[in-house]
Amino acid sequence: MCQAVDEMIEDGRNEGRKEATVRILTGLIRDGILSIEEAANRAGMSVEELKINIENAAKK
């Protein structure tokens, strides 16, 4: 049971890190510092995946 809780906590942390990364990269894209292609590369995502994540972040 404890391992399951630990895994849930780790999953939450990973999701939080991903959301923070998307927020930071979104700002850099909007400021013209990074292209969406470079931002996706830095995030380890495809351009399409990053676009989806940006759209989802905007809804929150």
Tokens of 7: 């895994």
Alpha-carbon dihedral angle through residues 8, 9, 12, 18, given to the nearest 10 degrees: -120
- Taking only the tens place, the pLDDT of each residue in 14-38 is 999 999 999 999 999 999 999 999 9
pLDDT of residue 57: 86
Tokens of 4: 């399951």
pLDDT of residue 20: 94
Cβ contacts of 21 within 8 Å, gap of 6 or more: 43
The residue with tokens 């894209």 is 29
The residue with tokens 């470079």 is 38
Query: Is residue 40 pLDDT above 80, yes or no?
Result: yes
pLDDT of residue 35: 97
Global pTM reads 0.80
Cβ contacts of 51 within 8 Å, gap of 6 or more: 36
Mean pLDDT, rounded, for 41-60: 92
Mean pLDDT, rounded, for 34-45: 96
